[in-house]
């Protein structure tokens, strides 16, 4: 039996591949259908094979799921276990695509009791933005009593319409210029539509600075093989960025804005998903995260048409201060600490090395990138 870590999304599922003969292999360990797609791509680089997904015992019976769906007046007709749902499967305990008697398709999710209040906040945020006629927002469905989260037999559930998208070509999309203005238009609209949001997001403003210092302390204690390189990167940030960080303007942000958290059509955006980290952050947060995620796919794309057209549209809208733009490269480097933390948690040596190389590349090319962007 062979194993590998899925790279299709940031979840990094541990996949197993069991060959029953020279031509048939069974994949297990994936938390979504994308794991099978990833394994298939890896296997077929070396040999032709028939790929099969291991069928596991369903966590919930069709009868139970039918009863849950009825809480939203949805009459279950069919379950679609093989339809891939975009977004991280770690955001819920269980999720499934289902079809009702009218051929409408939904995603039903079971959520943890620990995340209950946070999930309610996200649902209320999406409802607010949707009522502002904000395109590319898909609100959760409310039940009879107007609740977005409904309890059934001690478990908590949410439901949202399923949106079918066009998969990104992971080798080409970062060079497709038309995506830049579309990505910018969403952030511009989000800034404008989120004004006067009645929900109190100002109770806690996420501090990337504090997050980085906490992680560095942990690395110095437990990951001494990389501590010298991390402390060198920290010194780059401490020269100018860290002292200026608290002065950067704050705005409501998506919090995890990147192309894989978007459902795409052939030529536009359909919907932005995964709002788990939304809230008040430094105004450049979403733009920096997006650029960083595109660049890590292929660093050459940092000066390509998509990134440059995105920055051009954002700058023209004049919603981000000159001070924030000044620290764009530093902010991208700072945000990579969050990704590094995830690879450290999983003890993924290959991705830790890739992340450190990428941060160093950004630092070494700061002046070149600034000239290309602004």
Report the C-alpha gap between 305 and 167 in whole angstroms. 20
Mean pLDDT of all residues in 318-337? 98
Q: What does the mean pLDDT of the chain come to? A: 90
Sorting pLDDT into bands at 50, 70 and 90, what band is 365?
very high
pLDDT value, residue 221: 92
Mean pLDDT of all residues in 327-343? 97
Supply the DSSP string of 301-312, one letter for each residue. Answer: GGGSHHHHHHHH
pLDDT value, residue 107: 97
Sorting pLDDT into bands at 50, 70 and 90, what band is 236?
very high
Mean pLDDT of all residues in 314-336? 98
Query: Among candidates 319, 192, 185, which has minimal Cα distance to 262?
Result: 185
**Do you know the residue count of the chain?**
374
Mean pLDDT of all residues in 353-364? 98
Report the C-alpha gap between 10 and 8 in whole angstroms. 7
Query: Among candidates 112, 105, 106, which has minimal Cα distance to 91?
Result: 112
Alpha helix positions (H), the chain: 34-46, 62-69, 116-131, 179-193, 208-222, 227-238, 241-245, 285-297, 305-317, 322-326, 328-346, 349-364, 366-373
Over residues 273-286, the pLDDT tens digits come to 999 999 999 999 99
Report the C-alpha gap between 284 and 304 in whole angstroms. 20
Decide: 207 and 333 in contact? Cβ < 8 Å: no
Over residues 29-77, the pLDDT tens digits come to 776 667 777 777 777 666 667 776 665 556 789 999 999 999 999 999 9
* pLDDT > 70 in the chain, percent: 91
Query: Among candidates 113, 69, 107, 106, which has minimal Cα distance to 89?
Result: 107
pLDDT at residue 204 is higher than 70: yes
pLDDT value, residue 12: 64
Decide: 107 and 140 in contact? Cβ < 8 Å: no
pLDDT value, residue 247: 95
pLDDT value, residue 21: 67
Over residues 92-151, the pLDDT tens digits come to 999 999 999 999 999 999 999 999 999 999 999 999 999 999 989 999 999 988 999 999
Domains of the chain, residue spans: 2-53, 62-161, 173-373
Decide: 280 and 252 in contact? Cβ < 8 Å: yes
* pLDDT > 90 in the chain, percent: 75
Over residues 9-25, the pLDDT tens digits come to 655 677 777 776 667 77
Sorting pLDDT into bands at 50, 70 and 90, what band is 27?
confident
pLDDT at residue 254 is higher than 70: yes
pLDDT at residue 8 is higher than 80: no
Q: Please give the radius of gyration of the chain, using alpha carbons only, rounded to the nearest integer.
A: 22
pLDDT at residue 317 is higher than 80: yes
* Class of 173-373 in CATH: alpha beta
pLDDT value, residue 147: 94
* Class of 62-161 in CATH: alpha beta
pLDDT value, residue 202: 52
Give the C-alpha distances (Å, rounded to integers) separating 146 from 123, 128, 164, 176, 201: 11, 14, 26, 41, 22
pLDDT value, residue 9: 61
Query: Among candidates 309, 305, 311, which has minimal Cα distance to 325?
Result: 311
pLDDT value, residue 120: 94
Domains 62-161 and 173-373 share a fold: no
Over residues 158-194, the pLDDT tens digits come to 999 999 999 999 999 999 999 999 999 999 999 999 9
pLDDT value, residue 29: 75
pLDDT value, residue 88: 81
**Which secondary structure element, helix H or strand E, spans residue 201, and what is its range?**
none
Mean pLDDT of all residues in 326-350? 95
pLDDT value, residue 355: 97
15 phi, psi to nearest 5 deg = -95, 145
pLDDT value, residue 47: 63
């Amino acid at each position: 039996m062979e194993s590998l870590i899925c790279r299709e999304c940031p979840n990094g599922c541990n996949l197993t591949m069991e060959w029953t003969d020279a031509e048939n292999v069974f994949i297990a360990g994936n938390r979504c259908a994308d794991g099978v797609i990833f394994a298939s791509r890896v296997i077929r680089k070396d040999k032709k094979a028939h790929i099969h997904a291991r069928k596991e015992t369903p966590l919930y019976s069709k009868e139970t799921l039918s009863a849950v769906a009825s809480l939203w007046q949805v009459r279950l007709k069919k379950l679609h276990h093989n339809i891939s749902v975009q977004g991280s499967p770690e955001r819920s305990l269980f999720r499934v695509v289902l079809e009702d008697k009218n051929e409408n398709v939904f995603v039903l999710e079971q959520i943890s009791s620990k995340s209950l209040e946070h999930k309610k906040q996200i649902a209320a945020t999406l409802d607010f933005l949707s009522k502002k006629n904000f395109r590319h927002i898909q609100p959760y469905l409310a039940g009879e009593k107007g609740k977005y989260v409904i309890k059934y037999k001690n478990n908590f559930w949410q439901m949202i319409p399923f949106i079918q998208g066009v998969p990104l070509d992971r080798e080409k999309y970062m060079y497709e210029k038309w995506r830049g203005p579309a990505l910018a238009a969403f952030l511009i609209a989000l800034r404008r539509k989120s004004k006067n949001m009645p929900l109190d997001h100002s109770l806690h403003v996420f501090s990337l600075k504090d997050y980085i210092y906490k992680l560095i302390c942990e690395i110095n204690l437990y990951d001494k093989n990389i501590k010298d390189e991390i402390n060198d990167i920290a010194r780059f940030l401490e020269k100018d960025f860290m002292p200026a960080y608290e002065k950067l303007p704050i705005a409501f942000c998506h919090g995890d804005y990147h192309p894989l958290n978007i459902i795409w059509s052939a030529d536009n955006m359909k919907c932005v998903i995964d709002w788990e980290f939304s809230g008040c952050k430094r105004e450049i947060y979403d733009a920096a995260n997006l650029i960083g995620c595109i660049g890590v796919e292929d660093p050459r794309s940092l000066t390509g048409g998509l990134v440059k057209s995105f920055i051009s549209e954002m700058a023209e809208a004049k919603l981000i201060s000159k001070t924030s733009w000044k620290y764009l490269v530093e902010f991208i480097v700072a945000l990579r600490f969050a990704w590094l933390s995830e690879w450290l948690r999983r003890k993924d040596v290959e991705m830790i090395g890739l992340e450190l190389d990428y941060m160093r590349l950004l630092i070494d090319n700061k002046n070149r990138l600034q000239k290309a962007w602004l």
